Structure formats: structure tokens, C-alpha cells
Amino acid sequence: MISLERVRVGIMKCGNIGTAPVLELLLDELADREDINVRTVTTGSKMVAEAVEDALPKMFEFNPDFLIFISPNPAVQGPARARQVFLEKKIPSIFISDSPGKRLKEEFEKSGFGYIIIMGDPLIGARKEFLDPTEMAIFNANIIKVLAITGVFKIIYQEIDRLIHGYKVGLNPQLPRLIIDTDEVREHSDFQNPYAKAKAMAAYELTKRIAEINVRACFMEKEREKYIPLVACAHEIAQVAARLAEEAREIEKYSDALVRRPHSKDGTPKVKDKLMLPPMSDEEILKKWLK
Amino acid sequence: MISLERVRVGIMKCGNIGTAPVLELLLDELADREDINVRTVTTGSKMVAEAVEDALPKMFEFNPDFLIFISPNPAVQGPARARQVFLEKKIPSIFISDSPGKRLKEEFEKSGFGYIIIMGDPLIGARKEFLDPTEMAIFNANIIKVLAITGVFKIIYQEIDRLIHGYKVGLNPQLPRLIIDTDEVREHSDFQNPYAKAKAMAAYELTKRIAEINVRACFMEKEREKYIPLVACAHEIAQVAARLAEEAREIEKYSDALVRRPHSKDGTPKVKDKLMLPPMSDEEILKKWLK
Amino acid sequence: MISLERVRVGIMKCGNIGTAPVLELLLDELADREDINVRTVTTGSKMVAEAVEDALPKMFEFNPDFLIFISPNPAVQGPARARQVFLEKKIPSIFISDSPGKRLKEEFEKSGFGYIIIMGDPLIGARKEFLDPTEMAIFNANIIKVLAITGVFKIIYQEIDRLIHGYKVGLNPQLPRLIIDTDEVREHSDFQNPYAKAKAMAAYELTKRIAEINVRACFMEKEREKYIPLVACAHEIAQVAARLAEEAREIEKYSDALVRRPHSKDGTPKVKDKLMLPPMSDEEILKKWLK
Amino acid sequence: MISLERVRVGIMKCGNIGTAPVLELLLDELADREDINVRTVTTGSKMVAEAVEDALPKMFEFNPDFLIFISPNPAVQGPARARQVFLEKKIPSIFISDSPGKRLKEEFEKSGFGYIIIMGDPLIGARKEFLDPTEMAIFNANIIKVLAITGVFKIIYQEIDRLIHGYKVGLNPQLPRLIIDTDEVREHSDFQNPYAKAKAMAAYELTKRIAEINVRACFMEKEREKYIPLVACAHEIAQVAARLAEEAREIEKYSDALVRRPHSKDGTPKVKDKLMLPPMSDEEILKKWLK
Amino acid sequence: MISLERVRVGIMKCGNIGTAPVLELLLDELADREDINVRTVTTGSKMVAEAVEDALPKMFEFNPDFLIFISPNPAVQGPARARQVFLEKKIPSIFISDSPGKRLKEEFEKSGFGYIIIMGDPLIGARKEFLDPTEMAIFNANIIKVLAITGVFKIIYQEIDRLIHGYKVGLNPQLPRLIIDTDEVREHSDFQNPYAKAKAMAAYELTKRIAEINVRACFMEKEREKYIPLVACAHEIAQVAARLAEEAREIEKYSDALVRRPHSKDGTPKVKDKLMLPPMSDEEILKKWLK
Amino acid sequence: MISLERVRVGIMKCGNIGTAPVLELLLDELADREDINVRTVTTGSKMVAEAVEDALPKMFEFNPDFLIFISPNPAVQGPARARQVFLEKKIPSIFISDSPGKRLKEEFEKSGFGYIIIMGDPLIGARKEFLDPTEMAIFNANIIKVLAITGVFKIIYQEIDRLIHGYKVGLNPQLPRLIIDTDEVREHSDFQNPYAKAKAMAAYELTKRIAEINVRACFMEKEREKYIPLVACAHEIAQVAARLAEEAREIEKYSDALVRRPHSKDGTPKVKDKLMLPPMSDEEILKKWLK
């Protein structure tokens, strides 16, 4: 039975960034959480306004407590249309996007939207000579690995969990205003070994570089001889970044110090490190949420 | 503008398997395909009947030409409810699932459903002492990598593309009836080097093993001292499988023989190998589809 | 001078499994043990009854205190003949074998034989298009590495040492009845880091998978196009398993926690971890042996 | 049925070198060869004269066409006693040993013995603070891998096969007189890529270095602080050498050029490279043998 | 005997960039070239004007045909002083530097200096909590590896060789005006496999990123908690870049296609690929030089 | 301003060994040391007496407190000429060289020269079919990495720092008499994990082997078919040695125990391990210097 008190989280995916494919899964990794209902609607890879317009009503029928709109570059048509609708509907909304979203920071704030800009969630190497479904999936796997291990996903789902918690206890929680750059990885990731952290930061720096290279390869270079090597080069960096992140995580395993933060059934955050021990309620986070 | 002639593909995700997060992206990796409209609705990680029941109407409003329902074990409540509804609605439907789906093969066929059972898309190590959102995302990244590189994703999206093509040309295409085991990887993957293929098959065998171990760890072992090492062991195999798959792909790069199969704007399949050359229309596949 | 009080261990090798090539070396790795005499007789790779019949008398002339018969599948001719002879001779005998031996468990027990069944000591990929002496040696090297690092060899030689110790102190020690599966690796291996243990368990799971694949490739598939990729795939897994085991061992080195268990000259077990420190007498094991 | 015409190969193992554990397996990797009978007798890790003396009669009862005696340093007691007995028995005999055997070259030749001296089959790091059965097995696995991949094993078994062939066709074949150093690897290994060969040579050079270091660590250094790091260092080199050899073999796989040389049932040598093709009779070798 | 006709190359090193330690060695890797005399003077790690002033006269006494001044950021005191002196002395001079040199492009051209700006020769992580002589040497080793493998060194020494050749044949060769960015790697490196080239380009992109990170860490961040992780992160990227470059080179080895360009004794350029074949005179380059 | 009290260090490089390219940088890695002036003069790759003779006067004009002459094999013409001149000038001088320098030990001592012989700084594979500038630079990068990580560079710069310190405090410090073999690595490297130390020693053993192989390949083998594989093999070992050294260093990072020894501005030695903590004055070393 779906209880009435569950917080209802609506997620609209429009186009794709590395964070998008697993976003709702981050909130309920064990599929046993009893305090939320999640509904996601996607328009496939497309970002046109019509698709967004067509899909949004279904989302509102779900009657979400708050909405997350995740897309690449939110300056384009589809996401722009979404912002208009959200403003009209007056529903608390958060825009999650890659680095081009940074340019909309002021607009977001003026309109009262929350935002999470992931500087290291890079544009894919979208050139027809290079990108096929297989290459696309591998690239996303590499980026997911980096974003997970560096703690970027943790920063994101903790923000959303904070919101959920706020709605549950009847607060009017502040929407997130977050730009996730390497500094945030340094400050908020859970690495206990400083070299592991440095490697994770390095992996994140690499994904930022991928973005720069792919922007050039996809939008600026016109000749095949130039853009093919560039997108190939960018995806090689993605592979290397994933390996480097993996290396960082291995370091934590090597001293049995890997921090894990599972959700409990009632949604309260838990935390642990030693592998063979059970997770404990994470009072520190809870306190922070109630401030 | 969204043209009327586009084939409308509806995707319902219920719970998660490794194929699910990127499924719709596989159909339109360059986000420029003009022959399809895709709409996905997800119920988050949950698989309860109520959530499915609540979400399905939105899907039908989209008026899809055919429906894909992707979930783990389709024998449980949610997917079962979906099958009832689909039968009533008489919409062409395909069930994509992991290995437990194999037991429903006959039921699928009797009811006229298509199915794609992915034997190597394994259960995750869902134990609270081990699985947190980070571990979950990494696991999915590893499985995505294996399924992409071994050609499993290719087999899947070519089946869907075949359907789309059928609807476009006004045929009444046969729904897929496919169990993807190691033999299918051997037969249908694009590796040109036989050792690369052997490594890919090995990676797929490993993901099948993960499934077996995690079933035991999640459903059979009751003591923490037993199930924690097992889920940890299963996820280590996932990491190794991803690396092995990567190695297979590198072999093809080393002789510039990596096959790529991008979609063209009008949805016709293209194919190429030499990196610096453009893709060509894949007549072989097209012919097969028209048989 | 060979003293009269030495325990005489007779080993008969018939055909080959991964444990066989180093079996007697495990008992006396420093070649300075003064409490045992070991004699091994081998029939080469062959397992026919005639060879066993011909070789056994030499073994009895050695007058062993107990006999170890190691072979693949002990249900076939050669080992079966050996069981008949051993029963007649009434000499305490232990059968060491790979997983098919599990089916003879009851027969072993009824006849009073000891047995050690190594579930993860897999059949080799014995297909003429694939297996040559070089490939065979590499495969065995990989399997030896896995069985050594996972602690399977330790379980085996401790059982034999227990017997030897029993005969030395005039007890009538119970013959081993042991099936070494992943649970035994979990319980009895010496890893101090839980992730190292998980990786070791994973390596052992992989060798078990190899067995399944090679059985299919060697006995079930008839077409070259099918069985060659399968045996190649199985041997790739062996390589990966060896690497994974190695990784597990490295973890223990990284915190200078690698457990070592050398034999002392008089055969008593010793144990240590810190590399630069000397081994100490292992009282724990000794006590267990005397129970 | 064991036919009368089979060539009877007797192998005596005394102590252990890296080649010993798999020696008889190299002659019949598929266990289906119908032209030979092999019998091996081992004295465990020990090399004392008494053990040899005790074991040899069983070997002669087998009535071998020729004898192989494999041991470390053949200058010590046990092998020396064996030479006396062999001279008396006038049986064609070959001594296989590690590098110290080189000093007996003249003695071997004067006495009419064949010999194969394997310069890169190194002494193990036999120090009680370091070597336990697990470390011993791993070391042997690494050395086996190097000797297999570099083609050293091939050189050895081809020499023995040449002998067998000689006896079969009624010739009086010349016993081998072979010192296997890096030059032999360069000349006789089957690598088709010159960098693969260079890496294999490098791996072999490393095993030669191990020998030098372990001789110093085992026989010259008296203080624990000095010899422990040395044996540990030597075994690290063994691990690196095995990896390097593996890398060499991978290169050949990457261009599907790996040479395989399985035995046929009647013992004639076969050869192939492309993985998916069957092996062919190796006329070149056969011709060489008949010269 | 040092002949009069040799071209005299003077090199002044002031401070250090990754190219500097091996610069003169690139011109005469076999130490047998008979057409040049090289003299290098260095002021250690320091870049102050006094040191430059003190060292330059010794350089002029050598009477070089042309001068190379290599340093980091040529805008600072020492290199600035050198430019003044060179202008007075009217000796053909080339400034080699890292990316900050790009800002002096116009000044260089106005003054008639040649220049080679290496965009991917990054600032070291010069923070006292991090950089010691060992870390410094390792960083330089990594950068040297990347610059060598990507072909950046080749571009540099071919430019200098072109000059030398020009002076030898009595031409008045044009001084180089070169900014070496990723495009130059794409265009001028010798990779025959396009994925190898993409990996090399990726490695070079990484070294460019290191520069950006270290500039921030060394000059902008003031708190230890911030700058230490940044320099550590930058050096991790250097390690990864070196490995990636190595991987690119291995690809060329795997198909025996690695291009080598040794100098001949008389300085004419040679070229080869197959490892076992001798180098040939490189007519293509020679022709280009005479244009 | 360059103060009068700075110790003046003159360095003459003649030909190249792995230590040479970074030698002066080791003394002042942060380029902020205020207690020394360093001047280096190099004759390129050449070692002829004329070049040395021509370059030395410039060195003496610098008026160094002491001189370091670094070259391969110091028995040849150029270094020999330098020794004559140094004896005449009566300037305190140290010869740094590779292993052939060991034969001059007595001559060095008789003449009052200091010496540092680096047994593991190997001859390069100087064969025209193999060595080009790129290969040369890579080889040096690998050797630099090994010498840095194993602590060989530390031993060297601490000796020079001891001298500098002696001159600063007005002592007449004893010139170093040092042969750096594997024992010195064992005793003086900073590894806290014993396996890390063993791996570092192994890396150093490998570089010593390279020297032996390259001497044979460069001076003894005459046929291309023989010497090309040998130099290629030697350089493969260099790559492996660098990786192994890197592995050793990673171990120290994994437990945040990596020792760093930066110079302070006034030249006093500092030391630290935990990455995030500042370095402290190294009293232990200082005391040793004053003995």
C-alpha cells in the first residue's frame, strides 16, 4: 500500500547527462524506502519544447511535492519551456544540469528555482563517425563511475534527501543552490586517505577537461580529420578518469575505510566504514538538516 | 515540430536492471533521429502493483505504437499487473528482464508478448551493510560496460529498431522472442579478433555468475558474516568483468577494427570500422529486417 | 639418514588437476622437514586402469603410513581400480579430486576413505585446436596461483599435516572429509582485510565457472565454431582469476599483514604476519589437532 | 590397452625446479597420446642420496626406454648417486637442471648423459621467515608461466619428443646437450611480433636475476635484516616476470598470431596460429628430427 | 678532433621545464653525430637576472651559430635580461618555454627571435608540503615521457635540426615560430593507429590541465588545506598521463609499426618502422627543409 | 641579489647517465634556496677530451667551492682529462658515474677525489636501429623514475647537501666515497612498508640487469639479429622497473606514510610523512652531518 504521507518526488529527464540515468535510483538504492514515491518521465534523448510540453502534464497529475528537471544545457528550448510552466504552476523545482547551466545561475535564483550544476558531467562526443549506442553507453558508464566515486552523486542525493526530510517534518526547506566543482569534491567526499582524495579530484578534473574538448569537437571543428581524433581523445580521457576514480576507491578498501551511506527504510541517513559492521544512524547529517 | 509519422515508442521502467538506465538512449544516441518519439515513465526503484497501476495510464495517453516494459524478475506483482493491463489494451508489448524472466517464456508466448531475457544482467548485491547509492551506481556502471561491449545492447536495440522499421514501412513486425546467453554474444557480437570475442564472452559469463552469487547472498544466507562477503565478492566480479570487457574492446582498437553502428537521422542503420572513415548504410541488416 | 620414526606419505597422481603438480611440495616447502618421507608415483596424464595397476605395487613397496590418490573425476576407470586395491590392502587412503568427485562422497564414506573435493579446481580446456603444452602449463600456473592465494592449498596441507601429526603421536587420526567450496575459503583463508577476502572468494568463484564452461566445451559442444571460443573464454577467466587473487594478496602486503605459515624442521606448524619478524609456533592449530 | 610399441619414458624428480611440476604433462597435454607410457617417481622436496637410492629401483622395474632425471643443482648428493647408478645400468639418461648444472656440462658429456640446463629456472627464496607453502606455490606458478610463454618448455618437450620419435622409428637418437639461455629464447620461441619476443626475453632475463639474488639471500647473507628483503625482492621480480611474459603472449593474441603446437594422438607434432583454424602436421619439425 | 665546420649550438637553461633536462640529448641521442658541437650552461633552478647575466658571457665565448634559451615563463626577470643581451649581440636566438610564453609571441616576433611554446609542458606543484627532490624528479620523468611519446620532442628537435641543416648548407634558415598545442600532436606525431594517436592527444590534454591546476595551487590558493590536495591531484594526473602515453606507444609496438627517427652520424634524418629493419634516409624531411 | 656567503656548486656534465639530467634540480627543487649558487656546463652527449678541455675554463671562472663531474664510464678520454685538470687546480671534486666507475675506486681515492658510483644507472641501448631521440628520452624517464623512487637520488643529494652544509659552517667536509648498490637502497631508502622496500629493491636490481644486457648488446654482439632484440629487451625491462618502482611508492601513499624531504630556503633538511601536515626540520640528519 502506498501511504498518504510519502513525499512525492517528480523527476523530468530531458536529453541526457551522466547523472540522469541513475538519478532516481540514488534515492532508493535498496528499493525498500517507505517515505517516498518517485515518478520519472523522460522524453528520450530529445530536448525539444514540444516533447517537454507534451510530457509535463503527466508529471503534474502525479502531484509531486517537488520537481527535479534534469537535462544538459538548460538554456535551450525544452528546459526553457519547462521553466515557464513551473513558474506558472508554482511548484518547488530544481534544475540539475551540466556546466553550461552555470550561466543561468542568476535566472534560477531570481525565479526561485533550486539548481545543482555539475561542472564535471561532460558533453558526450556526439559525432556520427564516432558515437554509436555502444560507445554512448560506455561513455555514460565511465562518467557514472567517476561521479559516484568522487562523491558527486552523494552531494546530489543528500541535497534531495534534505528536501524530502524537510517536507516530511513539515518544514519549508530551502531549495539547493549548488555548483559542484573540484572544491566540492575536496570538501564533501568521504575519502579518509588524502591520496585517494587527490586521485578522485584528479578524476573529476579530467571529466571537466572532457567537456571542454567535446564542446570544441562537436560545435567548433568542421573537418572530420580534426573532430574525430578529438572526440576519440575525449572518450579515452573518460576511460582513464574512470580507472583513476576506481583506484581512489580501492585505496579506501585497502585499509577497510570505505565509507558507505545506505538509506534506511524510513529514509533516515545511515553511515558506516568497516565492511563487516552494520551501518549506524548518521546523526551528524540529521542535525545539519534541521539547522 | 513532432511529425505524425514518427513511430511512438513507450517505455515503462519498473525497478531496475543494468539495461534499464540507458535503454531509451540506445535508440537515439545522437539525439537527432527524426523517425521516432520516445516516452519513458518510471516508478523509481519500486516494483509494487499500485505504482505500476498509477503510472500506466500516462503511458497510454502517449498513444505508443508499441510498449516496452523493462524490469527485474517479471514474475512479481508489478510486472504481472502490467501484463494484465497490456492484454486488455491489446497493445504490442515487449518484456525485457533479467534471467528469472526465463521462467515466464511460455506465458509470454501464449499471451502474444515479445520478450528479451538478458541472462547476464545480474541482480545487485542488495544488502544494507553493503549497498549504498554509490555502490549501486558503480555496479550499474560496470554492468552497463559489460552489456555494451559484449554486444548485448546491440542485440537489444537492433531488435527494437527492427520493430520500428516494421511499423514505419507498414508491416506488422513480429515481436522479439530472445534469450540472450553467451551463445548469442558469440554469434552476434561484432568482434573481429577471436581472442577479443573470447574475452567478451568471459566477461558475460562473469556477470551470469554474479547473478547466482547475489541471489544466494540476498535471499538465502541469513547471517551477516556470510552474506556480506558474498555481495562484496559479487561486486568485485562485476569490476573484473568490466575490465575484461574493456580489454576486449581495446584489442579491436589496437588493429583499428572496432565496429561502430550509429543510427542515421532517418533511423536506418549504419556501420563502419576504420575510425577515420565515415559510416555506411548497413544493407545487410536492412535486408534481414525485410525478410 | 632417513630415520625410522618418519611418517611415510605415499602419493599417487593419476591424470592431472591444478593441485597435483605441487602437492608433495606443499608438505615440505623448505625441503628440510625431518619428520616425513614422501614418495610420489605418477602415470603421466593418463588415467587408464592398467597404468594405475602397474604403478600401485611400487607405491606399496614404499610402505606408506597413508596414501593420497589425486586425480580428476575419481569415478572413471583408473581411480576406481585404485579404490578396489586400497580396500583390499586396508591402507588409510585419501582421494583428492575436482568437483565431479562430489558425487562419490557417499561411496568414499561407506568405504572408509578420506576425501578432499576441490570445487574450484577446474577441468582444462582440452580441445586440440586450443590446448598445447604451453597453454596447458599456463592454465595450471593460473589455477595454482588461485588455489594457493585463496588458501585452498592451506586447507589441504593442514589436513595432511594433521594426519601426519596424528600418526607421529600415535593417534589414529580421522581421515579428512572435506568439500572445499567458497564457504571454506571465506571461513579458513587467512585474509585480514575483508575486501581482500572478497576478492579471493571472487577468484575462486571464477575457477568454479571455468569448470562449468570447460565441461560444456569439452563434452557437449561438437562444432569447432562453438567449442573453441568456449575453451578460450574459460582460459581467459583463469587468467583473470589469477590476477584477482594476486590483487587480494597485494592488499595484505600493503598493510604488512600477510600471514605466512612455514613448516618447522620437526613439522610443527608455524605462523607469522609482519614480514621482518620470525615465525612463531602455531599453538592454536596444534591444539585443534589434538582435539 | 597399453600397447607394446609405446616408448616408455621414465622420469625421476628429486627436489624441485620450476620445470619439474609439469614436466610429464608437457609430453601429453591432452592425455590422449597413444605412443608413449610415462612413469614418474618423486622423492618429495628432498634430494638426499638415500631417497634416490630407495626410489630408483621402482623406476627400473618400469623398464623405461630412456630416463629423465630432473633436479636443482645436480652436483649434490642425490643426483650424483643417480649418475652412478645410471652409468651402471647403461640406460640412456638426461639430466635436466637449473643453472648450477652448467658446471657439470663436461662431466655429463664424458659420461654420455644428455643434459638440458635451464639458466632461467631460478632457486626459490628458501628462508623460513618468508617461504611457506603458499609463497612456494605462487613462485612456482610465476616461474612456470615465464618458462611456458618464453618457449623454454617448448624447447624442452621438443627435445624429448625428438628422442621419443627416434626410438619409435628405431633410430638411436642423440641425447640432448642443451643450455637454455636468453639466446635460445630469441632463436627458438614462436613470437611473430618482435616486441613480444623482446618482452619474453626480458622476462627470462628477470628469472635469471632472481637466481642470482636468491643464491645470495639463501647462502651468503646471515642476518635476517638482509636476507628477508632480498628473498622478498626476488619473488617480486618473479611476479613481474610472469606479468611481462603474459604481456608478450597477449601481443600475439592481439593479432591472432599466437602459435600453438599440440601433440597429435600418434605423437607427431602439429602446429597452427589462427585461433579458429585446426592444427596441421608440422613437417618442418619432423624433417629436422630425421636429419 | 672537433672540426671547424661543425654547427655550434649554444643552449642556456634557466629554471626548469620538462623539456629542458633532455634538450641537448635530443639532438645527438647516439652521441656520434659529427656535424654539431653543443654547449649548455645552466643556472640551476634559479631564474634571477644576475645569474643569467653572469652565465651568458661563457656562452658567447663558445661562439655559437645560434642560441637556444629554455625556461619557464619567459616574461620574468632572467629571460627578459637574456633577450636584451641577445638583441645587442645580434645572435640568432630561439626561446623555448611553457604556456605563459604564448603571451610574448608578438614581442618575440617583433624582436626577430624564434620561439617554441610548449602548451603541455606544465608548471610543477611547487609547494613545500608536497614537492621534494624525489617528487620533482618523478614529475619530470612523467612529463618527459608524455612529451617524448606524443611527438612533442620530435617536433622540437626537427625544428632545431632544420636550423642546423640550414647553417650547414649555408642558407639563412628561418627561426621557428611554433606553438605546440594538441593540434600539432594530431598533425605531426608519427602514430599509425588512430586510437594510439587519440590516446596520445589525451595524454597531452592532461598535461595542459596539470598546468592550469598547478597555477591555481601555487599562486592563488593560500590555505594548506586547499593547495596540498590540488598539487597532489595535479601530479596524479601527470602519472596517469604518462601511463596513457605509454599505452599509445604500446599500440604501435603491437603491430610492429612504431616509427623511429634516429640521427645519422652526419646529422641527416633517418626513419624506420619495422623493428628488425635498418633505418633509411628520410628524404621527405630533407626536401621539406630545403623548401 | 646573490649573496657572497652562498656556497658555489659547479657541475660539469659530460655524456649522459640517468642521474645527470636532473642533478642540479635535486639540490633546489623549489627554486627558492638562498644558500647556494649552482652553475652547470655540459658538452652535449659527447665525451671527447677536447670538449671537456674547452668547457672547463668557463667552470673555473665561476669559482666554485667544489665541483661535481658527472659522466658515464669515467675511464674514457674526457673524464680522464678532467681528472688531470682538477688535480692541477686542487679544487675539491666529486665524480659521479655509472657502474664502470667502480673500477676507478682506488684511483679516485688515491687522488683525493670524492666519488658516487651508481650501480643501477644503466647504459642506454645505443644501437642505431633502435635508439632515436624519443626512445632515448623515454629510457631516461624510466631510469629517473627508478632512481628517484628507490631513494638513490636522495642518497646523492644528501651527500651533496652534507658538503654544502660543511662549507657553510666552515668545516672541511669529507668528500663522499659511495658505491650505491641494492644494499644501500635497502638501508637508506625511506620506505615504511617492507614490501614496498622489496619492490623498490627489485626495481633497482632490474636496472642493474639492463646495464649488463646493454653492454653486451652495444659492445659485444655484431649481428643486427642479435643486438636489436637485446636492446629492445633491455628497454622493456626499464619500463617494467619504472612501473615496479611506482608500485612501491603507491604502497606508501596507500597508508599515507610517504616520506618527503623538501629543502628549506636556508638549505636545512626538512622531513614529513602525512600528506596534509607541514614538514619539520630534520634534526637527525643535521646531527649526522655534524659528526
Helix C133-149 vs helix D133-149: angle between axes, to the nearest 10 degrees? 160
Q: Which three cell numbers stand for residue F75?
A: 675511464
- Using the predicted structure, report yes or no on whether residue F222 has a pLDDT greater than 60: yes
Q: Which of E199, E232, E240 sits opposite A244 (nearest CB)?
A: E240
CB contact under 8 A, D186 and F229: yes
| Residue F4 pLDDT class (50, 70, 90 cuts) | low
How does pLDDT run across D183-218, given as a tens digit for each residue?
Answer: 999 999 999 999 999 999 999 999 999 999 999 999
Query: What pLDDT was estimated at residue F123?
Result: 97
| Residue E172 pLDDT class (50, 70, 90 cuts) | confident
Can you tell me the mean pLDDT for D163-181? 94
- Using the predicted structure, report yes or no on whether residue C24 has a pLDDT greater than 90: yes
Least confident of B187-196, D3-12, D24-33: D3-12
Q: Which three cell numbers stand for residue A235?
A: 572518450
Amino acid at D218: C
| Residue F1 pLDDT class (50, 70, 90 cuts) | very low
Query: What is the average pLDDT score of chain D?
Result: 95
Query: What pLDDT was estimated at residue A43?
Result: 85
Rg (CA), chain D: 19
Query: What pLDDT was estimated at residue C3?
Result: 42
CB contact under 8 A, D195 and E276: no
A187 touches chain F (CB under 8 A): no
- Using the predicted structure, report yes or no on whether residue C172 has a pLDDT greater than 70: yes
Do residues D70 and C40 touch, judged by C-beta distance below 8 A? no
Do residues D188 and D102 touch, judged by C-beta distance below 8 A? no
Can you tell me the mean pLDDT for C159-165? 96
Can you tell me the mean pLDDT for B112-127? 97
Cα of B111 vs its chain's centroid, Å: 21
- Using the predicted structure, report yes or no on whether residue B291 has a pLDDT greater than 90: no
- Using the predicted structure, report yes or no on whether residue A48 has a pLDDT greater than 90: no
Query: What pLDDT was estimated at residue E3?
Result: 43
Query: Considering only alpha carbons, which residue of chain E is nearest residue B252?
Result: E195
- Using the predicted structure, report yes or no on whether residue A29 has a pLDDT greater than 80: yes
Do residues A121 and A143 touch, judged by C-beta distance below 8 A? yes
Neighbours of C132 (CB within 10 A): 26
% of chain E exceeding 70 in pLDDT? 99
Terminal Cα distance for chain C, rounded: 33
F230 touches chain D (CB under 8 A): yes
CB contact under 8 A, B205 and C240: no
CB contact under 8 A, D2 and C39: no
% of chain B exceeding 70 in pLDDT? 99
Set of chain A residues whose Cβ sits within 8 Å of the Cβ of C194: 256, 274-276
Query: What pLDDT was estimated at residue F51?
Result: 86
- Using the predicted structure, report yes or no on whether residue C125 has a pLDDT greater than 50: yes
Owner of C-alpha cell 519513458? B40
B192 touches chain E (CB under 8 A): no
How does pLDDT run across B153-183, given as a tens digit for each residue?
Answer: 999 999 999 999 999 988 889 999 999 999 9
Query: What pLDDT was estimated at residue C5?
Result: 80
| Residue E58 pLDDT class (50, 70, 90 cuts) | confident
SS3 D264: coil
Cα of B92 vs its chain's centroid, Å: 18
**Min distance D290 CA to chain C CA atoms (Å):** 22
| Residue C1 pLDDT class (50, 70, 90 cuts) | very low
Can you tell me the mean pLDDT for E262-285? 95
Set of chain E residues whose Cβ sits within 8 Å of the Cβ of A198: 229, 232-233, 236
Query: What pLDDT was estimated at residue B2?
Result: 38
Query: What is the average pLDDT score of chain C?
Result: 95
- Using the predicted structure, report yes or no on whether residue F265 has a pLDDT greater than 90: yes
Q: Which of C205, C213, C230 sits opposite B213 (nearest CB)?
A: C205
- Using the predicted structure, report yes or no on whether residue D58 has a pLDDT greater than 90: no
**DSSP conformation class of A270:** E
Do residues D176 and D116 touch, judged by C-beta distance below 8 A? yes
**DSSP conformation class of C178:** E
CB contact under 8 A, C205 and B233: yes
- Using the predicted structure, report yes or no on whether residue A69 has a pLDDT greater than 80: yes
**Min distance D289 CA to chain C CA atoms (Å):** 19
Query: Considering only alpha carbons, which residue of chain A is nearest residue C248?
Result: A254
- For A66, half-sphere exposure in the C-beta direction (CA atoms, 13 angstrom radius) is 26
Query: What pLDDT was estimated at residue C224?
Result: 96
- Using the predicted structure, report yes or no on whether residue C227 has a pLDDT greater than 50: yes
B contact test, residue of D193, D254, D255, D274 with most B CBs within 10 A: D254
E contact test, residue of D191, D251, D253 with most E CBs within 10 A: D251
Do residues F148 and F207 touch, judged by C-beta distance below 8 A? no
Query: What pLDDT was estimated at residue C146?
Result: 98
| Residue A2 pLDDT class (50, 70, 90 cuts) | very low
How does pLDDT run across F41-80, given as a tens digit for each residue?
Answer: 998 888 888 888 988 888 898 999 999 999 999 999 999 9
Query: What pLDDT was estimated at residue C4?
Result: 52
Query: What is the rounded CA–CA span in Å between residue A82 and residue A85?
Result: 5
Helix A194-215 vs helix A224-254: angle between axes, to the nearest 10 degrees? 170
Can you tell me the mean pLDDT for C217-225? 96
Can you tell me the mean pLDDT for F116-137? 97
| Residue D43 pLDDT class (50, 70, 90 cuts) | confident
Query: What is the rounded CA–CA span in Å between residue C101 and residue C118?
Result: 9
How does pLDDT run across C36-73, given as a tens digit for each residue?
Answer: 999 999 988 888 888 889 888 888 989 999 999 999 99
Query: What is the average pLDDT score of chain B?
Result: 95
**Min distance B72 CA to chain C CA atoms (Å):** 23
Report phi then psi at E178, rounded to 5.
-140, 125
- Using the predicted structure, report yes or no on whether residue B252 has a pLDDT greater than 80: yes
Query: What is the rounded CA–CA span in Å between residue E232 and residue F249?
Result: 14
How does pLDDT run across A164-223, given as a tens digit for each residue?
Answer: 999 998 888 999 999 999 999 999 999 999 999 999 999 999 999 999 999 999 999 999
Q: Which three cell numbers stand for residue F17?
A: 647517465
- Using the predicted structure, report yes or no on whether residue C82 has a pLDDT greater than 50: yes
Can you tell me the mean pLDDT for A27-51? 91
CB contact under 8 A, B145 and A141: yes
SS3 A107: helix
Instruction: Say if strands E270-271 and E280-281 run parallel, antiparallel, or are unpaired.
Output: antiparallel
Can you tell me the mean pLDDT for B196-223? 97
Set of chain E residues whose Cβ sits within 8 Å of the Cβ of A195: 232, 236
Query: What pLDDT was estimated at residue C45?
Result: 81
- Using the predicted structure, report yes or no on whether residue D141 has a pLDDT greater than 60: yes
Q: Higher confidence at residue F290 or residue B103?
A: B103
CB contact under 8 A, B276 and E194: yes
Set of chain B residues whose Cβ sits within 8 Å of the Cβ of D251: none
Q: How far is CA F4 from CA F33, F163, F170, F171, in A?
A: 14, 18, 14, 17
Query: What is the average pLDDT score of chain E?
Result: 95
How does pLDDT run across E243-269, given as a tens digit for each residue?
Answer: 999 999 999 999 999 999 999 999 999
Q: Which of F195, F251, F254 sits opposite C275 (nearest CB)?
A: F195
B123 touches chain A (CB under 8 A): no
Q: Higher confidence at residue C44 or residue C150?
A: C150
Can you tell me the mean pLDDT for F251-259? 98
How does pLDDT run across F23-44, given as a tens digit for each residue?
Answer: 999 999 999 999 999 999 998 8
Indicate the helix (H) or strand (E) that contains C266.
none
